[in-house]
Amino acid sequence: MSEKLQRILQNFEFDGDVISVVENSQGNINATYEVRTNTGKKYLLQKINTYVFKEPHLVMKNIELVTAHIRRKLESMQDTTHQTLTIVPTKGNQNMCTYVNQDGEKEYYRVFLFIDHCISFNTFDECQDRKEQVAFNTGKCFGFFHQLLSDFPISMLSYTIPDFHNTPQRFGNLLASIENNATNRAFACSQEIVYLISKIKECSVIHEALGRSIPLRVTHNDTKLNNVLIDRDTLEGVAVIDLDTVMPGSILYDIGDGIRSACSNSFEDETDLSKVFIDVDLVKSYLRGYLSEMGPFLTPDEITYMGQSIRILTYELTLRFLTDYISGDIYFKTKYPEHNRDRYLNQFALLQDIEGKLAEIDAFIRSFMQQDFPRERVKPN
């Protein structure tokens, strides 16, 4: 372990002495390390990416508030299946520590308890013959998360990344990157750019209805499949993790992003595009799970735009990867020079596949809602 990591870890109160620190390279934003101690305890140490999160203390405040709320609710329900993140405070009882690096810049580190006995997946293919079950349980776990937070006082949350899912603004960022063309990469992307320009109006519908017919609720905003922990034995959803982007938003962003990421059944940087498509059976299982928790609480427009949300979030991520590619790979961590190119082409292929299947997905949502929730829906408290 480096001397720097040792000094950072010294700030935290662990059970036992640290015996190993191993980097986990999964996330696209923060640096994450798995820490073990000689008493067998496991923790996660994370360096908060301050290019992405400009105000780390607001991120931590949001997490503190939301996890306390979830924990209280789980206790009052005597729920022993679900868990939430637990922040390990510093010796000075702070929710993170700062470290001044050799360039005089502040770095921010935090520690969470490691949630044991769970697995997370990057694609449902990893679940083999149980993928329908895991798709249902994943949707259900995010639905339960929304339900637990439905009575959280939304005004207490900060917007840690303002306009995170603002589709027209993401589109504006793409146009600005093309204009700058910092890396001379824009021309080679013309075909996809033209297509994306032609779809911006249709893909702005959720943004335009947000705060009106689509209510602002407490949402996760980064519902990738690997952000839900699944019990190793029962395959039930245990915890929704990676709470950095919990903010007021639309549940449609969470549903769309969750299904985009989970039901495409391939990695986001898969370059064999024949493997990149949305699996409608998995979408149905995921939605059945989600709606089993949240079905009675949805507004008519949340139901109307649910299918569209899958397309819109895929459109948005195509914009984001493409913008980052053209800008010179500033935002997302990349593992090789053309990584963001592979990612945007992957999401672009997925977008086109989803567009061809939307009618079937919409028909499923309509008939499922009519059959299972024909009564008047209730407003969340």
Q: Using CB under 5 A, list all residues that contact Mg ion.
A: 222, 242
At its nearest, how many Å lie between ligand GN1 and the CB of residue 181? Answer: 23
Note the Cα 376 to chain centre separation in Å: 31
**Contacted entry of ligand GN1, Mg ion, none for residue 154, CB cut-off 5 to 8 Å set by kind:** none
Smaller CB separation from ligand GN1, 247 or 303: 247
What is the three-class DSSP state of 262?
helix
Residue 32: strand pairing partners: 24, 46
What is the three-class DSSP state of 169?
helix
**Contacted entry of Mg ion, ligand GN1, none for residue 69, CB cut-off 5 to 8 Å set by kind:** none
**Contacted entry of Mg ion, ligand GN1, none for residue 224, CB cut-off 5 to 8 Å set by kind:** ligand GN1
Q: Which residues contact 49 (CB under 8 A, 6 or more apart)?
A: 29, 30, 31
Cα separation of 111 and 14, whole Å?
10
Q: Phi first, then psi: give them for residue 248, nearest 5 degrees.
A: -65, 140
**Contacted entry of ligand GN1, Mg ion, none for residue 90, CB cut-off 5 to 8 Å set by kind:** none
Q: Which stretches of the chain bind ligand GN1, using CB under 6 A?
A: 27-29, 52, 222, 224, 227, 242, 245, 268, 317
Cα separation of 227 and 33, whole Å?
16
Q: Which residues contact 14 (CB under 8 A, 6 or more apart)?
A: 35, 37, 41, 43, 88
What is the three-class DSSP state of 210?
strand
At its nearest, how many Å lie between ligand GN1 and the CB of residue 31? Answer: 11
At its nearest, how many Å lie between ligand GN1 and the CB of residue 271? Answer: 16
Tell the residue number behind the tokens 């996330």, with chain if given.
Answer: 27
Smaller CB separation from Mg ion, 242 or 329: 242
**Contacted entry of Mg ion, ligand GN1, none for residue 317, CB cut-off 5 to 8 Å set by kind:** ligand GN1
Cα separation of 87 and 75, whole Å?
17
At its nearest, how many Å lie between ligand GN1 and the CB of residue 83? Answer: 19
| Residue of 81, 75, 100, 115 whose CA lies nearest to 4 | 100
| Residue of 178, 147, 104, 106 whose CA lies nearest to 293 | 147
Smaller CB separation from ligand GN1, 157 or 298: 157
| Residue of 306, 142, 145, 162 whose CA lies nearest to 248 | 162
Smaller CB separation from ligand GN1, 114 or 364: 114
How many of the other CB atoms lie within 10 Å of CB of 91? 10
Beta strands in 224-380 (DSSP E): 228-231, 237-240, 247-249
At its nearest, how many Å lie between Mg ion and the CB of residue 52? Answer: 9
At its nearest, how many Å lie between Mg ion and the CB of residue 28? Answer: 7
Q: What are the Cα distances from residue 152, in Å, to 86, 108, 219, 331?
A: 18, 27, 11, 31
Cα separation of 323 and 40, whole Å?
44
Smaller CB separation from Mg ion, 36 or 165: 165
Smaller CB separation from Mg ion, 201 or 333: 333
Smaller CB separation from ligand GN1, 259 or 298: 259
Smaller CB separation from ligand GN1, 222 or 293: 222
Cβ neighbourhood burial of 89 (10 Å; 0-12, 13-18, 19+) = middle
**Contacted entry of ligand GN1, Mg ion, none for residue 52, CB cut-off 5 to 8 Å set by kind:** ligand GN1
At its nearest, how many Å lie between Mg ion and the CB of residue 29? Answer: 5
At its nearest, how many Å lie between ligand GN1 and the CB of residue 340? Answer: 11
At its nearest, how many Å lie between Mg ion and the CB of residue 138? Answer: 16
**Contacted entry of ligand GN1, Mg ion, none for residue 311, CB cut-off 5 to 8 Å set by kind:** none
**Contacted entry of ligand GN1, Mg ion, none for residue 5, CB cut-off 5 to 8 Å set by kind:** none
Smaller CB separation from ligand GN1, 77 or 330: 330
**Contacted entry of Mg ion, ligand GN1, none for residue 168, CB cut-off 5 to 8 Å set by kind:** none
Q: What token pair was written down for 331?
A: 């935002």
**Contacted entry of Mg ion, ligand GN1, none for residue 28, CB cut-off 5 to 8 Å set by kind:** ligand GN1
At its nearest, how many Å lie between Mg ion and the CB of residue 241? Answer: 9
Smaller CB separation from ligand GN1, 332 or 368: 332
Name the amino acid, one letter, at 257: D
